[in-house]
Structure 1
Amino acid sequence: MNKKIALAAASLISCAAPFAHAADPWDRAFTFQIGAFRAEADTNIRLDADVGGGIGTSVSLEGDFGMQKTKTLPTFDFLWRINNRHGIDGSYVTLDRNGSRTLTGSINWGDATFPINTTVNSHFESDTLRVAYRYSPINDQGTELAFLLGLHYTKFKVSAGTAAGTVSDEASVDFPLPTIGILGSARFAETLRIMGYGQLLKVKIGDYDGELVNFAVGLEWAFHPQAYVGVGYNYYKYNLVSEKGGARGEFDYRFDGPTVYLGYSF
């Protein structure tokens, strides 16, 4: 009987060994992650006239133009660990919304003017691509401290016009912004860790004077040596003053909210 128990115990240990001792998903060379981001947006834009230089009306896209405030977005992330100290990571997220509302006041929108009681249809989209070099002076089995040097490339496109299509104006802004940041993670159980990162910068580049704040936190569970799931919170905040022709004005844009995600490493 003792021999049978010993054999059974040995079998259980051999089955568990790959999970206990194999490299976990946070230490592998390549990681791809997909998620769902329940983003709440707060967007205020002032579009100045390109002809004559008139100052536009500051407009809340959600309040004045009736755009959807909350939307679930897909997210995509990747990490390439070149070695234990160096890596490249990135992410991509896009937000696309439409709105329609009858105005309760007159609005100057670029070279267009919308009188009170006019029904205005609007469209806004943003694409955000983040890429960063990661240097990790501490990186040990899921616990990590890293410094980030990267680039946020964001494209805003916004348009508004009367429902009849007789009056309209639009602006498109491509906004590349270098960033610096810090990332940390702490493993507090065999298969659990908490992680977070933050990036920011304020800089004037050409026709743009802008600032960016971006951070995220997450709690992750490695349910397999090559896979994990996580829940967290993402935050993006932009403020951009543009002097570029056709996109003069100020863009104040925030979107944030909870996220769930799945990662696979190899």
Structure 2
Amino acid sequence: MKDILTIVIFLVTFGSAFSQQEDDKHPLLADRFIIGAGWYFPARDVKLGIEGSVDLEEQEEIDFDETLGLEKGENTFNFNFMWRFSKSKLWSVRGESFKVGATRNVTLDEEIEWEDVIYPVGGEAKVSYEIGLYRIFFGRAISTGQKHELGGGLGIHGLNVKASVEGNAIIDGQSAGFERSDVSAFLPLPNIGFWYFWAPTDRWAFSASVDWFDVKIDNISGGLWNVSPGVTFQIIRNLGVNVNYQFLKFNADINKDSFKGSFDLKFSGPSIRVIGNF
């Protein structure tokens, strides 16, 4: 009986100490799996230039949001995750994705030149675009503690860009009737990045991350910025809520069979996510 009582006291004491240690550390710093899903509310600035017979440097980019008469803001579903996959929890992989797009029938206020096809002022056209962002990032914690984590690593932002214009067109100065012009490209942009977590209590945690790169690979040159400060409140042990502000900027010049042109994309705005952690 005495031995059993000793074992019970040991287990209770050890369990209490372990629970206290885990409770004192915010789950954002302690847990292996963190999954977030919610809504991103970005202001958009979407510009595409498609090369035709004119030189690319002189090709005027099309402001799609202005052409479509869209408001600059859009609500879009956002998903992200983090997995500390090593035994030490120092190594991690992260991912994120969201998609924006629009389609609208418009009366053109200005001429659109798409490759060698011209859609004239006053003409009716159906204009659309769709942009998907996919981010994967591998990193390692550089400095860790009871209330902080600093890390860095390498990643890839994958941009899936699709756009089209259809309507009555002019080719070589002659009316060509109904024409549809569309392009699509998947652009991988590698990047370096850093993150920092600071959790003053087991409920509140503040975070900041930045990704950057400027690269030229074969027939693609481009750059990106991805900056995201935020705050997380832990509601219960395995459930929290995150609010952050995210600024993303991408630019590229592309010379591929499927896409010859350039684009400049900017997204900036707040997001709110429900966070599950375990």
Same fold (TM over 0.5): yes
1:196 matched to 2:208: yes
Q: Residue 66 of structure 2 aligns to which amino acid in structure 1?
A: G
Q: Which residue does 1:64 correspond to in 2?
A: 67
Equivalent residue for 2:273?
261
* 1:156 and 2:168 matched: no
In structure 1, how many angstroms separate the alpha carbons of the residues matched to 2:168 and 2:102?
16
Q: How many residues align?
A: 250
Q: Which residue is equivalent to 1:7? A: none
Cα deviations by residue, 1:119-148 (Å, 9 ceiling, x for unpaired): 221111111111111111222245110102
SS at match of 2:251: strand
Q: How does 1:111-260 map to 2 (within 5 A)?
A: 111-162=116-167, 166-260=178-272
- 1:216 CA displacement: 0.9
Query: Does the 8 A contact of 2:27 with 2:202 survive in 1?
Result: no
SS at match of 1:104: coil
**Match for 1:123: what amino acid?**
S
Structure 2 SS opposite 1:63: helix
Alpha-carbon separation, structure 1, partners of 2:20 and 2:66 = 51
TM-score between the two structures when normalised by the length of structure 2: 0.83
Give how far 1:68 is off: 4.7
Tell me which protein shows more helix as a share of its residues.
Answer: 2
Q: CA deviation at 1:247?
A: 1.5
CA contact (8 A) 1:125 1:158 kept: yes
What is the CA deviation profile of residues 164-218 of structure 1, one whole-angstrom value per residue up to 9, with x for unaligned ones? 9812211111101111011011112331111010001011112211111111111
| Unmatched runs of 5 consecutive residues or more in structure 2 | 1-17, 170-176
- Residue 163 (structure 1) shift: 7.2
| Aligned residue runs from structure 1 range 2-17, under 5 A | none
Q: Quote the Cα distance in structure 1 between the aligned partners of 2:114 and 2:230.
A: 40
* 1:51-107 deviations in Å (ceiling 9; x for gaps): x45654421101123345321111111111123311111111111211332122222
**What is the one-letter code of the residue matched to 1:259?**
S
Task: Summarize the Cα distance change of 1:195–1:166 in structure 2 as closer, same or farther, 3 Å threshold.
Answer: same
Tell me which moved more, 161-170 or 98-107. 161-170
Partner of 1:109: 114
RMSD: 2.4
Q: Indicate the residue corresponding to 2:27 in structure 1.
A: 25
| Fraction of identical pairs, as percent | 22
Query: Judging changes above 3 Å, is the alpha-carbon distance between structure 1 residues 169 and 19 closer, same or farther for their aligned structure 2 residues?
Result: farther
Q: For residues 209-258 of structure 1, give each alpha carbon's deviation from its aligned partner in whole angstroms, at most 9, with x where no partner exists.
A: 11111111111111112221111111111101111124211101111111
Flag the 1:30–1:246 CA change in 2: closer, same or farther, 3 A.
Answer: closer
| Residue aligned with 1:167, SS | strand
8 Å CA contact 2:124, 2:167 repeated in 1: yes
What is the match of residue 94 of structure 1? 99
Structure 2 CA distance for partners of 1:239 and 1:91, relative to 1, 3 Å = same
Cα distance in 2 between the residues matched to 1:36 and 1:190: 25
With normalisation by structure 1, the TM-score equals: 0.86
1:124 maps to a residue whose letter is: Y
Alignment equivalent of 1:34, drawn from 27, 32, 37: 37
Equivalent residue runs for 1:37-52 within 5 Å: 37-49=40-52, 52=53
Q: Give the Cα–Cα distance (whole angstroms) in 1 for the partners of residues 110 and 100 of structure 2.
A: 27
